[in-house]
Each structure stands twice: as structure tokens, then as C-alpha cells.
Chains A and B, each alone.
Chain A
Amino acid sequence: MITKRIIPCLDVKDGRVVKGVNFLGLNDVSDPVKLAQYYSESGADELVFYDITASAEGRSLFTDILTRVAETIFIPLTVGGGINTLSDFDRVLKCGADKVSVNSGAIRHPALIGEAAKRYGDQCVVLSVDAKRVDGKFRVFAKGGREDTGLDALEWIRRGVESGAGEIVLNSIDTDGVKQGFDLEMLSAVCELVSVPVIASGGAGGIQDFVTLFREIPKVDAGLAASIFHFGEVSIPDLKQALFEAGITVRR
């Protein structure tokens, strides 16, 4: 049976990993290539790279980094951040990315999902959604959670999958950064709605949160986190061991 995936997420700016990292035994903790290698060797099932660079120069630096990561790491790589056009898809896929994640670019230009799915296949297109409760409903936010788009999150996700998104990353703004666990209610609503893989993001504070996630929502496919892995609060081998002991199928 397919294993549940554990996915560390790296924010890259000007060729370096943003957010302090606090590993033992790693000299240059903000080198994306070294960090990617570290995660790959500790059993990460996939890596997500977000390009949070604004300038064109930063973007080409990111492309170089991506190529170097893809030459070193032989697990699936998803790339997001600043993906607005098919040529953005093309640029990162040529560097060795396997999947491309769209967020704001798809909100501005929803046809991008379908166009990309047609050219590269559904499995290549990941729809990343930042959602937050507003008046008892889940609403899509843009610009890193600062702007309410007015879009209903469930409706947006349903349309995205219909257009060809092959995977959903659901980031709950309500639980993000709180470290009190994933947003089970929101995740459950999305898992009931779509039949493509759903990746949970936002809220993981420790190992137990992943155990709870996969136990409570068997349909969820993966758990994504950044800082708890970067700061060494959760090590991937320990996490995999705990999941295994809880009867959850993982790759070890």
C-alpha cells in the first residue's frame, strides 16, 4: 500500500534557505543543497522548494540551486513560488523539478491549472491553497495570507481539481505557526471533497501531531512542515518510527 509521505519544505531566497536552522553536525545550514541532502538521507519522502525571491537575479540564482539539488537528490521535488505562466513551469521542470505548485498565479489566472495539466500531465500540477475561516466558512487568502480573495476554499479546490490539479497542498492559516496540530476539520472537509492526494500543512508542533493527522484522517496523504524540521525539534527518522509504531504505513 502507498505509504504516508513526510515532506520538509524549504523557503529559498537569494540562493539561501530562509528561516534560521539549528542542526547539529551541519556546518552551512542555509545551503539549500546541503539541507536537501540531509533531509533526503534522513528519510524525507519528498522535498518542496519555495522560491521567495523577488528580483530576476534572485530567480536565476534559484534556478541554479534547483539544478544542483536535482543533481544530488533522487526523491521527488516540488517547486513553488512565483509560478505565473507556462514558461515558469517549463523553467523549473527543466532544472529537474517533478511537480510544480501554483498558488497566487492560479488565483490571478485560473486557466493556468488546466493549461499546465494539459501540457505536463495532472500529476505535475499541485494546487497550493492558503485558507482561513471567515464567518464560519473556509476562505482562500492570497499574498502569504494577507489578502482575502473572497473565494470559497472548497469551491476553489473543487474547481482546481476539475481543471487538472493532481494534488492539493492545504495550508491552514488558522493553525499555521500555532504548533497545536494540523487543522483536522479543514483537512477533513477537503479530503471528502476531492479524490486527488491532499497534503496537510500548517500547525505541526511535534511528532504526535502527525500521528493524530494520519489516524484521524486516513484519506490524507502527506504531512508538510518547515520550522520543526529545520530547528531539529522533530527528526524525520524519529517521526517515521513513531508513525510505524502507531500502525501507519511509512517508508523506512
Chain B
Amino acid sequence: MIAIVDYGVGNLFSLKSSLSMIGAEAMVTGSAEDLRAAKKIILPGVGAFEDAANKLRATGLDAIVTEQAQAGKPLLGICLGMQMLFERSFEYGEHRGLGLLRGDVVDMRGRIPESLKVPHIGWNALRFRQPDHPLFRYIKEGDCVYFVHSFYAANCEEATLATAEYGAELTAAVGSKNVLGCQFHPEKSGRVGLNILRAFCEL
């Protein structure tokens, strides 16, 4: 069973459907018991960092997710859920993340040419930093995935698994042992996205 953490942020419909499409049993849950019983955990997220981080803390699930990740359970953060795995975010101020990965979340404005539109929305190609990572088992370099974001993870060289070129190398996928994350939306990235989720489910 894969637990999709429900802490009142975002629409989890597509994520749940995409998991059932690949034959994975998944539940959307906000219960600590379920997260502890699950084989794997997915931390989704959309919207603003501060609001999402506050909601996660208010439910007390931040502690459970951290405890389970530290115990070695595979954890996949998606989009804002990935950003929350890091130590800090500078989205409208400075906010504390879960600190499961080393690095910061920063604004792409000022780091990419002004001629490029922000948010970075659309299909962009993956460039692998760690081509042999199990998350990429069923996909290849150059495959396109779907992004929607204005902030991205920086100062996280060690954990960077893949990037996407957008006037700068934007962090696209991260991982350190059992803690993984993707900035893009695998549940909206067609066959490539489903193959990434399948690889995660098989970890």
C-alpha cells in the first residue's frame, strides 16, 4: 500500500488515478497509523510553501513523515512536496522545511534570463545527473516531463538526480537513499511520468 499524504493541500485525484493505472494500491490519507503501515509514502503539494508547510505541521504529519523517512521507508515528494523535503525555502520570506535533504528552495527569477517566462510551465526534457538511479529505470535521458513552478531546489548538488534546462539548470529530480523527489508532476507527464511512478513503486 502506498500512502498519499492528505494534509488539505491540492487535488490528489490525478495522482491517485495514475497509481491505480499502474496497478499500485494507493490510499489518500491523513492518518498517522496509515502512514506507518504503508510500504511507501508520497508527499504531494501545490500552492505556496509557507501555507503548505504550516498545514503539514498543523496536522502533525510532518513528524510522522520525517520519522518514517528516517526509518528508511521510501518517500517521494512531488512538486511543492519535493521542495518541502529541503531545509529552507525563500518563497516570500524564509521558511523551514522538513530538512530531509540538504539544500534550499529559491526563486528562479533573477537566476534565469529575463526573457524567459515565470512560472516555468510546460514539457521540458530531463538531463540525468545520475543515469543509473533506479527511479529512471524505465525512462531515458531527454524524455519530457510536465513542470509548473516558479521556485526550485538549489545548493543540493549531492542529491540532484536530474535537471531541466531553462536558462539555467533547474533541479528536476532529487534523491538521497530512500528520500526522493521530483519538481515536475509525474501524474501529468504521460507515459514517462507513469514509468517514474512505477519505478518508485518497485523500490
Contact = CB atoms under 8 A, between A and B. Distances in A.
Interface of A: 1-3, 5, 40, 45, 70-72, 74-76, 93-96, 98, 121-123, 166-167, 195-197, 221, 251
Given A71-B17, A96-B14, A2 B188 contact: no
7 contacts: A45-B122, A45-B123, A70-B13, A74-B191, A76-B146, A167-B121, A197-B121
Contact of B13 (A3, A5, A96, A122): A96
A5 B148 CA distance: 14
Contact of B194 (A74, A166, A167, A197): A74
B18 to A, nearest CB: 5
Given A3-B144, A98-B188, A74 B124 contact: no
Nearest to A123: B148
B133 interface: no
Contact of B193 (A74, A98, A251): A74
A96 B21 contact: no
A39 B119 CA distance: 26
A137 B144 CA distance: 39
Nearest to A249: B125
Interface of B: 11, 13-14, 17-18, 21, 46-47, 117, 119-125, 144, 146, 148, 165-166, 187-191, 193-194
Main secondary structure on A side of the interface with B: loop
A70 B124 contact: no
Contacts of B14: 70, 74, 96, 98
Contacts of A197: 117, 121-122
B189 A2 contact: no
Contact of A3 (B21, B46, B124, B187): B124
Contacts of B17: 70-72, 74, 96
A199 to B, nearest CB: 11
Contacts of B191: 74
Contacts of B190: 40, 74-75
Given A45-B123, A75-B146, 15 more contacts: A1-B166, A2-B166, A3-B144, A5-B123, A40-B190, A45-B122, A71-B17, A71-B21, A75-B189, A76-B146, A93-B11, A96-B17, A123-B119, A166-B121, A196-B117
Contacts of A166: 119, 121
Given A93-B11, A197-B117, A121 B18 contact: no
Contacts of B144: 3, 251
Contacts of B188: 74-76, 98
A190 to B, nearest CB: 14
Pairs of residues from A and B, 8 with the lowest C-beta to C-beta distance, nearest first: A251-B144, A2-B122, A251-B123, A71-B17, A96-B13, A3-B123, A123-B148, A75-B190
